[in-house]
Structure 1
Amino acid sequence: MALATTTASFSVSSPPFSSCLYHRRRRSCDVVTAASASPARRSEAVQREDIVIVGAGVAGLATAVSLRRLGVGATVLEQGTSLRAGGTSLTLFKNGWRVLDAIGVADELRSEHLRIQGIKMRSAAGATTDVLREFTFEEEAPGQEVRAVERRALLEALASRLPPGAISFSSKLRSIAGQGPDGTVLELEDGRRILSKVVVGCDGVNSPIARWMRFSEPRYVGHMAFRGLARYDGGGGHPFEPKVNYIYGRGLRAGFVPVSPTKVYWFICFNRPTPGPKITDPAALKREALELVRGWPADLLTVMGDTPDDAVIRTPLVDRWLWPGLAPPASRGGVVLAGDAWHPMTPNLGQGACCALEDAVVLARSLAAAAAGSDSGLGSAEPYAEAMRAYERERWPRVFPLTARAGLVGALVQWENPAVCAARDGVVIPRLVRLGPFLEHTNFDCGPLEPAAPPPSP
């Protein structure tokens, strides 16, 4: 359901929220809390929180963990009954691993996921396959760290760093009911009402909070993606080298990369004018994917064949370019966006999850400084509002160019024109592509996860 609040409804009319004092740690207002209220009284109880994060995905959990490492508590609202186990894997580059090191989960994930050594780029034409170029990261981009990480494993690692009860499951947001000097009022589908100084929207690509903030809907870029996760639990695991395998066709590309000794991630990107109807039958999804690459390299087809039907997904690829002067600000009152909710981008640079992790650290640093300033006697709202604006000023020059670049790269590699594809396979990839410059954006460092000095008292 869309969040149904207009500008006219921004006054907080009930109950008298200002009678409760804020504290840095979360607490409830009145004697009756949302957890203890009877169904008849639940809608009347108001739970008070300093920081509420909507969405227990990568951005949401990473923000909560980052805040906790800085001594600031947060409540995470997740509409599902548990962590989202769906999805396949995420490719994380050096900048993403810097963040995971800072928040303390990198080594755990490294122990479970293979380090990728290089890239092999091939052309698929009928039944033949030509190797166009092969790179190693050590030669082309020394110090690079690339691993394909299971989404499930990443979410579980992040969640394990939060205290019990920090994630409130089965907590679906119905609407933002209003904003006032004491914060933002959230209404949940189960009748609970929460008043929070800060609301962090990490509710994904189709974010209702972004819609409420008047952001445009994500733009479909003209191609879809199949993704799957093959399993090799028996015997000695899979036989593949720890390399990314890219295979290029006309208006169609595919690839696979080992995730762990027993799992291999694969993808197919294909052009389509519209996303078309949603397919819910897992076996039908897998058949459609196999049909797209009939006659392609045997190793790709083998990986796809070794994938359980329920481990295949199909999604439209979308993005949102944050044009200066046209896109709304990332914050509105006490509400701020992070990750895909703010800047959805196509996966062509492998930076969606990495940028979400960067957002988490930068936003947590800003909010922690505001919390310290508030404890020192500053007003309850303005320090957080300025912290959100500072976060946007720091992050916008990073995420806008990457979103645009990812979209342009996707448009180029999805060309169907035979002459263009021939030039790509015969000249561009074999002679012109250089891995180091292409991965320059992964050298970005968003800084340590240390509390910023609070602003001086007036």
Structure 2
Amino acid sequence: MALATSISSPQLRHCSSSVPPPRRRPWRRLRPAAAVAASATATPPSEGNIVIVGAGVAGLATALALRRLGVGAAVLEQGEALRAGGTSLTLFKNGWRVLDAVGVADELRAKYLRIQGQEVRAVERRVLLETLASKLPPGTISFSSKLKSIAEQGPDGTLLELEDGRQILSKIVIGCDGVNSPIARWMGFSEPRYVGHMAFRGLAEYADGQPFEPKVNYIYGRGVRAGFVPVSPTKVYWFICFNRQDPGPKITDPVALKSEALELVRGWPSDLLAVMRSTPEGAVVRTPLVDRWLWPGLAPGASSRGGRVVLAGDAWHPMTPNLGQGACCALEDAVVLARRLAPAAAGGGAGAGVVEAAMRAYETERWARVFPLTARAGLVGALVQWENPAVCAARDGVVIPRLVRLGPFLEHTNFECDLIEPAPQSP
């Protein structure tokens, strides 16, 4: 392991984050597509007209935003059920604005702690997905529907072939199929880039109540950093990021995963170790951290040349978690794409040019947002994963205090988002 020397004497720095209060703004309400479409007599399209591939955060949020705008969509999910694994997602105020817009924020706020009084909460991934899915009509999500191939069919749309032999001809395909997206690969995107460090994540459980204040706790070593944050009155999320030349073999043994994580931070602060030991073995995951920088003029666009396929979330712009913006940006994508696409798709028979224009507008708006964030997250990750002792001393004494306390550092969580009133014709 390349980290042996840096772990044996970590020279730790332990601090808590302090974030500025959110700036409140009056909400504006966005009318359903049925109310703004050119044809007042247009009927909503059948669900086959729009197919969303992937029932993750981006896919379910897009389906819900479209539905509230009066447009139906079918969701294909390769798993047998919604993703039950994973730990939690830290959602900043931009993520909560989107959840407000689609009508699920208050239901989630009631379950999770507000960090230091700010609009920042760590939310269990499983609960977020279940909450979004619960607002969709029964049968919207088709499980055990793994994509095998995708092919353009000219003006007829795009043909999706599934592993079980089913074929679906869709007018519009929205790829929300995650970091290793087959649709992104089909569109010409490069594989996500491994950034040189990995992460352990876990969710500790305290049946009698967890003992920590609602704040984020960070600990920095040489080439290793960790942190933990209360999620709810009974759960605490924790993470460890560590340098590694390559991801190495995948470990599936849950006991081995937890043991390796504890070994990485042996001798670190007792609070962190106590949280980790209170974590069920099955609630620990280890993943390589990757990103994809959408260089202007070099990376493909978010929509296909035929104007029938478009990407959202990690399928388009995977980013490292150093700014806590992966899930937040996926939620932003969902509401922006729905807002752009719904008027074009509301009639069910919109021409390819109208749909393509809507997709291009979404792409332009979102690229200006996600490219800088992806780059910034990658650079921050490189900075805090330094191993050189002298450089780490400067980092801990000067850089880190400014990063975790300066209000301007969190300006990226500002996001304008209108409330979406449910379409009158929605049952």
Scaled by the length of structure 2, the TM-score of the pair is 0.86
Instruction: Using the TM superposition, give the Cα deviation of residue 198 of structure 1 relative to its aligned residue in structure 2, in angstroms.
Output: 0.5
- 1:369 aligned onto 2:389: no
Does the aligned pair in 2 maintain the 1:178–1:185 contact within 8 Å?
yes
Match of 2:162 among 185, 188, 209: 188
Match of 2:400 in 1: 429
Map 1:26-65; keep pairs closer than 5 Å. Answer: 26=46, 49-65=48-64
**In structure 2, do the counterparts of structure 1 residues 430 and 162 end up closer, same or farther at CA, with 3 Å as the change threshold?**
closer
Residue 419 of structure 1: aligned partner: 390
8 Å CA contact 1:89, 1:149 repeated in 2: yes
SS of residue matched to 2:229? strand
The structure-2 alpha-carbon separation of the partners of 1:195 and 1:225, relative to structure 1 and needing over 3 Å to count, comes to: same
Letter in 1 for 2:146: K
Selected match of 1:291 from 252, 263, 266: 263
- 2:369 matched residue in structure 1: 398
| Contact 2:194-2:288 within 8 A present in 1 as well | yes
SS in 1 for 2:197: strand
Q: CA deviation at 1:371?
A: 1.7
Structure 1: distance between partners of 2:350 and 2:373: 36
Where 2:49 maps in the other structure, the secondary structure is strand
The answer on 1:211 being equivalent to 2:182 is no
Q: Write the letter of the residue equivalent to 2:413.
A: T
* Distance in 2 between residues matched to 1:322 and 1:430, nearest whole Å: 30
**What is the CA deviation profile of residues 181-234 of structure 1, one whole-angstrom value per residue up to 9, with x for unaligned ones?**
01101001111111111000000000010000000000000000000000112x
Matched, 1:323 2:287: no
Distance 1:432 1:325 in 2: 31
**Contact residue 56 and residue 77 of structure 1 kept, 8 A:** yes
Counterpart residue number, 2:312: 338
What do you get for the CA RMSD once the two structures are aligned? 1.7
Structure 2 residues without counterparts, runs of 5 or longer? 1-41, 423-427
Give the Å deviation of 1:443. 1.4
Alignment partner, residue 110 of structure 1: 109
Q: CA deviation at 1:429?
A: 3.2
Q: 1:182–1:381: 8 Å Cα contact kept in structure 2?
A: no
1:443 maps to: 414
CA distance in structure 2 between the partners assigned to 1:330 and 1:64 by the alignment:
18
Greater relative contact order (Cα < 8 A, sep 6+): 2
Q: Which amino acid aligns with 1:77?
A: L
Which amino acid is the alignment partner of residue 66 of structure 1?
A
8 A Cα contact 1:24 1:50, kept in partner? no
Equivalent residue number for residue 252 of structure 1: 224
Across the two proteins, how many residue pairs are aligned to each other? 380
Deviation by residue 1:20-52 (Cα, 9 ceiling, x = unmatched): xx973326xxxxxxxxxxxxxxxxxxxxx1100
Partner of 1:223: 197
Tell me what 1:25 maps to: 45
Runs (5+) with no aligned partner, structure 1? 1-21, 28-48, 118-137, 139-143, 452-458
The counterpart of 2:172, out of the listed 198, 202, 219, is 198
Give the 4+ runs in structure 1 shifted more than 3 A. 429-434, 446-451
**Which residue does the alignment assign to 1:312?**
284
Give the 3 Å change call, closer, same or farther, for CA 432–320 of structure 1 in structure 2. Answer: closer
Amino acid aligned to 1:314: R
Q: Which amino acid aligns with 1:445?
A: E
Q: 1:209 to 1:23 in 2, by over 3 A?
A: farther
Once the two structures are superposed, the pairs formed by residues 100-249 of structure 1 within 5 Å of their partners are: 100-117=99-116, 144-233=118-207, 235=208, 237-249=209-221
User: Which residue identity is paired with 2:339?
Assistant: R
Alpha-carbon separation, structure 1, partners of 2:396 and 2:358? 48
Which protein is bigger by CA-based radius of gyration? 1
Q: 1:59·1:360 contact (CA, 8 Å) conserved in 2?
A: yes
In 2, Cα distance between equivalents of 1:349 and 1:185: 37
SS of the aligned residue for 2:331 comes to helix
- Cα deviations by residue, 1:226-268 (Å, 9 ceiling, x for unpaired): 00000112x2x11000010000000000000000001000000
TM-score, normalisation: structure 1: 0.81
- Identical pairs, percent: 83
Q: Aligned letter for 2:105? A: A
